[in-house]
Chain A
Amino acid sequence: MKNATTALSPLVAFVGQPNAGKTSLFNCLTGLRCKTANYPGVTVEYSLCTMLLPDGLEARIVDSPGMRSLEGRSPDEQVAVDALFGRAGPGLPQLVVAVVDATQLARHLFLASQVRDAGFDVILAVTMTDLLDRRGLTFRPEALAESFGAPVAIVNGRTGEGADALATLISRNLPDRPDRPRAPALPRQSFEKILERYRRAEAMEKEAVVALDPASAASVVLRRADPLSEKLDRFFLSPVWGLASFFLVMAAIFTSVFWLAVPAMDAIDAAFGWAADGARQILPASWWTRLLADGLIGGAGAVAVFIPQIVILFLGMGLLEDSGYLARGAMLVDRPLAAVGLSGRAFVPLLSGFACAIPGMMAARTISNRKERLLTLFILPLMTCSARLPVYGLLIAFLTPRDRPWLGGAAMAGLYLGSLMVGLAAAALAGRFLKTGERSTLFLELPAYRRPRLRVTLKNARHSTASYLRRAGPAILWIALGLWALTHYPISPEGTDETEEIAGSWGGKLGRVLEPAMHPLGLDWRCGVAMISGFAAREVFPGTLSIMLGQGEDPAPPDAGMQSQIAMIRKAAFPDGRPIFTIASSMGLLLFFMLALQCMATVATAAKESGSRAFALTQLFGFTGAAYVASVALVQTLRWFGIA
Chain B
Amino acid sequence: MTNSHSPLGTLLDLPVGAWGQIGDLTGGEEVRARLSELGFTPGEWVRVTERLPFGGALAVNLRGGTFALRREEARAVGVREVAP
Contacts and interface: CB of A to CB of B under 8 A. Distances in A.
A443 interface: yes
Contacts of A239: 52-53
Given A237-B59, A239-B52, A239-B53, A331 B34 contact: no
B57 to A, nearest CB: 5
Interface string A233-259: 110011100100000000000000000
Contact of B50 (A222, A223, A233, A444): A233
A69 B35 CA distance: 12
Given A194-B33, A198-B39, A445 B69 contact: no
B29 A191 contact: yes
Q: How many interface residues does chain A have, given as a range?
A: 35 or more
A224 B61 contact: yes
Interface in B65-80: 65-70, 73
Contacts of A630: none
A344 interface: yes
Interface residues of B, number: 38
B70 A195 contact: no
Interface string B39-68: 101100101011011111101011111111
A225 B30 contact: no
Interface stretch (A104-112, A287-295, A403-411): A104-112
B36 A444 contact: no
A229 B54 CA distance: 23
B31 interface: yes
Given A110-B37, A191-B29, A335 B52 contact: yes
A331 B64 contact: no
Interface in A461-513: none
A514 to B, nearest CB: 48
A194 B31 contact: no
A277 interface: no
Given A73-B34, A237-B52, A446 B66 contact: yes
Interface string A161-201: 00000000000000000000000000001010011001100
B57 A443 contact: no
A446 B65 CA distance: 8
A394 interface: no
Contacts of A147: none
B37 A439 contact: no
Interface string A433-452: 00000110111111000000
Contacts of A234: 50
Contacts of B19: 223
Contacts of B62: 223
B24 to A, nearest CB: 11
B19 to A, nearest CB: 8
A442 B70 contact: yes
A568 interface: no
Nearest to A333: B56
B84 interface: no
Contacts of B28: 439
Contacts of B31: 439, 441
Contact of A106 (B25, B39, B59): B39
Contacts of B56: 331-332, 334-335
A68 interface: yes
B22 to A, nearest CB: 11
Contacts of A230: 49, 61, 66
Contact of A223 (B32, B34, B36, B61): B61
B32 A222 contact: no
A229 B65 CA distance: 10
Given A327-B68, A331-B57, A331-B68, A191 B33 contact: yes
A107 to B, nearest CB: 5
Contacts of A266: none
Given A73-B34, A331-B57, A233 B39 contact: no
A338 interface: yes
B18 interface: no
A103 B64 contact: yes
Kindly name the residue among B19, B42, B66 whose own CB sees the greatest number of chain A CB atoms within 10 A.
B66
B66 A229 contact: yes
A71 interface: yes
A257 B61 CA distance: 35
Given A194-B37, A237-B52, A439-B31, A338 B61 contact: no
Contacts of B37: 68-69, 71, 110, 194
B61 A444 contact: no
Contacts of B50: 233-234, 237-238
Contact of A441 (B34, B53, B64): B34
Given A73-B34, A110-B39, A331-B59, A442 B54 contact: no
Given A107-B38, A330-B68, A334-B56, 8 more contacts: A68-B38, A199-B41, A223-B63, A237-B59, A335-B54, A441-B34, A446-B59, A446-B66
26 contacts: A68-B34, A104-B65, A107-B39, A107-B63, A107-B65, A189-B33, A191-B25, A191-B33, A198-B36, A198-B41, A223-B19, A223-B64, A229-B66, A233-B49, A233-B66, A237-B50, A331-B56, A331-B57, A331-B68, A332-B56, A334-B68, A335-B52, A335-B54, A344-B68, A439-B30, A442-B57
Interface of B: 19, 25, 28-39, 41-42, 45, 47, 49-50, 52-57, 59, 61-70, 73
Pick the 6 closest A-B CB pairs, nearest first: A331-B68, A335-B56, A444-B68, A237-B50, A446-B66, A104-B64
